[in-house]
Structure 1
Amino acid sequence: MKQKITNSYIIKDITPKYYKLKKLLLENIQNNVYPPNSRLPSEEELMRKYNITRGTIDRAIHELIREGVIYTIQGKGRFVLPKKQVLEQTNKPFQINNNRIVFIMVSILDEFYGPILKGVMDVLQPEGYNLEIVNSEGKYMNETKLLSKYLKEPISGLIFIPSFSENNYKHLFQLQNRGVTIILIDNRIKGYNFNFVGSDNINGTKDAISYLIKLGHKQIVFLGRLDHNINNSSTIERLEGYKQALLENKIYLNPNLILRDEPQDKKYKNFEERAYIKVKRFLSKNIKFTAIFTANDVLGAYQALKEKNIKVPNDVSIVTFDDSKICKYFEVPLTAVKQDGYHIGYYSAKLLLKKIDSKMNKKNRYNDKPEEIILKTKLIIRKSVKKIN
């Protein structure tokens, strides 16, 4: 996987293998390597020629069938549609409005998302785009309603902060097939390959855990939004960073120190309240620990410690991900991993415009590779961590 590393962010070519195969087959069809009504190579032939799996081939073929480029004859194979029909499918004009961009946010007023919005606006407004900002409130039903709405209206681009990683967002595929450029921010969606911009959650967490380890901590609790059914990709990445830091320092990964949601926790709609409940439940087990890393929701964790008269940092150290304003002015200023929200928004908008410009050339409709921009984080050291022997 190729990476381009700059001072501020990393660009990765995340083009999946199935998409590369699909693009190759399309080019061969358009260049008459596979003429109309000719039979495509069998799965076995494609597997041998390109050293890919059957699953990769099935996905590429399924998309070409769905897009009306090839067809199947049971027992005989896959065949190329007549050229006229292929051109009708591949050269459809984009049903877009070149000046309208939609930004679906989780929360417009949240401190983390404000700088992201400013970054987006600073790029799009000087270019003359009409930016429409809507709030999903982090609810899947709201997200699907909004996405369905924009399927019926002309837009040229969508910047979307999804609330869930494992839900079905089929409307995104439908929007993409209409020629709408899609950029995901902060949270990936499992099984989907769209352009993405976010923070380096893995290395940001590794830096935080390594800092704790350097100061003598080995029993480090991980607290995050880890639901048994639905997980947030940023939290999963932070958990991976936690695991990697322990492994690299040859510290035993104690599963009892990873705090997950229990089924009964769902009744608490506020995430800070859930964090408070999880830490209270953990403290009742009398498991030894010296530090807590909170991937989210540090206030709930701090309150649970305070009620048990556990002092930070004298008794327990705390590091949190995301350096909100409260971290600096807290009663014990909190050491935190700082994200660059402004540039997440800025580069999201820049990438969006780049992709829109590329799509203006119809020849690039199937050649446009999804890109991923990952911004580096910074560990801000304050007074919530104590060195231990």
Structure 2
Amino acid sequence: MPLYTQIRSYIEDHIRTGRWREGHRLPSETHLARQFEVSRITVKNAMSKLVEEGIIYRIQGRGTFVAMNEGGEPLRYKKGASSAGMIAFLIPRLDNRFTMNLLRGIERTLSEANIRILYLSTHDDDQREEQLLQEAIDTGVKGIIIYPVDGETYNETILRLTMDRFPIVVIDRYLKGIDTNCVCSDHRGGAYQATEHLLISGHRHIVFITSLFKGTTSLEERLEGYKQALAEYQVPFRRQYVVESTDSMSFRHLLLEHPEVTAAFAANEGIGQKVIEAAESIGRQIPNNLSVVFFDDYERSEAARIPPTCVLQQEEEIGRQAAQLLLTLIENPQQPRRSLRVPTQLMVRHSTGRALLERRSTKLPSN
């Protein structure tokens, strides 16, 4: 058997017998060249023909993957018994105001189109996310809305669905290197507003506190908005003022080591509340000794002991736009991909105030 044909048969046999299922990453060209003792050109030619036939596909910088299921049927045409009028909504959890409002916006829009929602919780676990995506496809849903797991990697099923033009919309953050349909808040603009509010109030030593953000574009954009505001107000960016932690002890140490800090911008509501607690535990009063602003709001925050200054996201609007975009994709999967940005709003309450030094400068001299 010619070497070219041997390589082709080897790949096809692995797919046909189920050893390599849809989405499986094939061995590299270098590996196959060593295995069959041929040149990489021979391997490349064999694989190029399989790509042309739609049996495998390539992703630049990531490898070559199986494009069809064991029956030789393209993924996008799989049909399930319960496929009529249903889409899947994957989200890390449904335990806060933000995610509840997202679901409300999606549900209201889809109910008008007589489409039901299959709700699936990933618990911020990338393996579970991959599994649930495949289960949704096997069920035969018409489309998918997904709030991806945080991190710099994304699962290959999202890649495959996107490349195969399956109706899928990503919310909250986009996926780097992939032209995906997505609906997000204006994270950069919201962070700029929050930081500018502190700068206008006289603060010059402002820390940015976040969870690990590498690869999570929503958090990366919030950091960029923070840096942009500092630059436009000619305040130097200090790397030591960026803290990637959700540990209250880290906040306490930061404030003790940097007594000059007068304000904090937290990347989300949970971190913001921990910052307030940490500050008060070492005698820093809010907002007299430390101003705090954060992304997102929480239920009945206006009635809190210290009503927070925060960046409001339009969660229902994000959900509504994501559902509307998905409906158009179900009708026409080949349309150009779109990235939609929903504006944010700064809500100023009582957790921020004038910088302490500026407050002193405006005091009347004592007799």
- TM-score of the aligned structures, taking structure 2 as reference length: 0.73
AA aligned opposite 2:287:
P
Whose relative contact order is higher, 1 or 2, with alpha carbons under 8 Å and at least 6 apart?
1
Supply the distance in 2 between the matched residues of 1:67 and 1:277 (Cα, whole angstroms): 56
What residue number does 1:353 align with? 327
In 2: Cα distance, 1:281 partner to 1:291 partner: 15
CA contact (8 A) 2:126 2:155 kept: no
For 1:231 and 1:177, the matched residues in 2 are separated by 21
Q: Distance in 2 between matches of 1:347 and 1:338?
A: 17
The match for 1:50 is none
Q: Counterpart of 1:327 in structure 2: which amino acid?
A: S
CA contact (8 A) 1:94 1:178 kept: no
C-alpha offsets along residues 99-137 of structure 1, whole Å, 9 cap, x if unaligned? 220000111232111111011011111211121111112
Partner of 1:168: 154
What amino acid sits opposite 1:284 in the alignment? Answer: L
Aligned to 2:217: 233
CA distances 1:184-237 after superposition (whole Å, capped 9, x unpaired): 01122232221111110101111111111111111101011135xx44221111
The answer to whether residue 269 in structure 2 is matched with residue 302 in structure 1 is no
Deviation at 1:92, TM superposition (A): 9.7
Residues in 2 aligned to 1:252 and 1:246: alpha-carbon distance in whole angstroms: 7
Q: Which amino acid aligns with 1:283?
A: L
Within-5 A mapping of 1:347-386: 347-359=321-333, 365=334, 368-386=335-353
The alpha-carbon distance between structure 1 residues 371 and 98, as it changes in their structure 2 partners (threshold 3 A), is: farther
Residues 1-389 of structure 1 mapped to structure 2, 5 A cutoff: 66=51, 68=53, 94-96=77-79, 97=83, 99-176=85-162, 179-226=165-212, 230-261=214-245, 274-296=246-268, 297-359=271-333, 365=334, 368-388=335-355, 389=358
Shift of 1:327: 3.3
Cα contact 1:223–1:293 (8 A) shared by 2: yes
Q: Which secondary structure state, in structure 1, belongs to the residue aligned with residue 199 of structure 2? A: helix
Q: Is the 8 A contact 1:155 1:180 kept in 2?
A: no
Q: Which amino acid aligns with 2:264?
A: I
Larger Rg: 2
Match of 1:152, SS state, is helix
Q: Deviations for 1:46-76, whole angstroms, at most 9, x for unmatched residues? A: xxxxxxxxxxxxxxxx9997363799xxxxx
Structure 1 pair 255/326, CA: closer, same or farther in 2 (3 Å)?
farther
SS in 1 for 2:257: coil
Q: Secondary structure at the match of 2:87?
A: strand
Q: Which moved more, 1:278-287 or 1:182-191?
A: 278-287
| Contact 1:165/1:187 (8 A) holds in 2 | no
CA contact (8 A) 1:338 1:380 kept: yes
> Do the aligned partners of residues 95 and 330 (structure 1) sit closer, same or farther apart at CA in structure 2, a change above 3 Å counting?
same
Structure 1, unaligned runs of 5 or more: 1-61, 72-88, 262-273, 360-364
* Contact 1:328-1:334 within 8 A present in 2 as well: yes
How many residues get paired?
290
Determine the structure 2 residue equivalent to 1:5.
none
- Could you say what secondary structure the match of 1:284 adopts? helix
- Aligned pair in 2 of structure 1 residues 240, 221: CA closer, same or farther (>3 Å)? same
Relative to 1, partners in 2 of residues 1:64 and 1:248: Cα closer, same or farther, differing over 3 Å?
A: farther
Residue pair 2:145, 2:168 contacting (<8 A) in 1 also = yes
- For 2:324, the aligned partner's letter is K
TM-score, normalising length: structure 1: 0.69
The 1-side partners of 2:178 and 2:151 are apart by: 10
CA distance in 2, matches of 1:154, 1:377: 35
Alpha-carbon distance in 2 for matches of 1:244, 1:157: 37
CA distance, structure 2, for counterparts of residue 212 and residue 322 of structure 1: 17
Report the residue type matching 2:252 in the other structure.
Answer: K
2 CA distance for matches of 1:201 and 1:302? 22
* Alpha-carbon separation, structure 2, partners of 1:117 and 1:168: 22
CA distance in 2, matches of 1:203, 1:374: 10
Matched position secondary structure for 1:143: helix
Write the distance in 2 (CA, Å) between the matches of 1:292 and 1:258.
10
Indicate if the aligned counterparts of 1:200 and 1:375 stay in contact, CA closer than 8 A. Answer: yes
Cα distance between partner residues in 2 of 1:185 and 1:197: 5
Q: Distance in 2 between matches of 1:117 and 1:145?
A: 21
Return closer, same or farther for 1:162/1:93 CA change in 2, 3 Å cut-off: closer
